[in-house]
């Protein structure tokens, strides 16, 4: 019998992303003003730092063993991918749903396919 992929149905490993994307959608105007049109790099750095911490927690859950330095790099890669996708999603006339954006994120991030 094969085991289901870590993270449950559909292979979602990073559980924080969908609720966070839903919050961003609800506060779209704020995030557009700060992440897309704003020129304060501190806001983006803070988002990346917070998402990296969430990703690190998820990676610890998925793979409790392993090199901590590598896990930190993967967490920051996931955070950068998340920030990039969110910026793209908020920047244009994207008609993607929150679920579709999450699916793209889940497919791109390190650790999601492990």
Question: Domain residues of the chain, as ranges?
Answer: 14-108
- Which comes out higher in pLDDT, residue 75 or 12? 75
Q: Which residue has the higher pLDDT, 55 or 2?
A: 55
With b for 16 or more beta-carbon neighbours within 10 A and e for fewer, the 32-49 pattern comes to: bebbeeeeeeeebeebbe
Rounded CA separation 94/74 (Å): 27
End-to-end CA distance of the chain: 19
The model carries a pTM of 0.81
Task: Quote the tokens at residue 18.
Answer: 């969908």
Tell me the per-residue pLDDT of 4-60, one tens digit each, with 9 for 90 and over.
344 444 456 899 999 999 999 999 998 888 888 877 778 888 999 999 999 999 999
């Amino acid at each position: 019998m094969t085991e289901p992929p870590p993270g449950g149905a559909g292979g979602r490993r990073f559980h924080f992303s969908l609720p966070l994307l839903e919050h961003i959608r609800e506060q779209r105007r704020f995030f557009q003003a700060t992440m897309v049109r704003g020129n304060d790099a501190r806001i983006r750095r803070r988002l990346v730092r917070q998402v990296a911490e969430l990703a690190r927690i998820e990676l610890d859950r998925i793979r409790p063993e392993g090199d901590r330095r590598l896990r930190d790099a993967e967490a920051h890669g996931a955070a950068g991918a998340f920030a990039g996708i969110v910026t793209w999603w908020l920047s244009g006339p994207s008609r993607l749903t929150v679920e579709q954006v999450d699916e793209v994120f889940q497919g791109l991030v390190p650790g999601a396919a492990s």
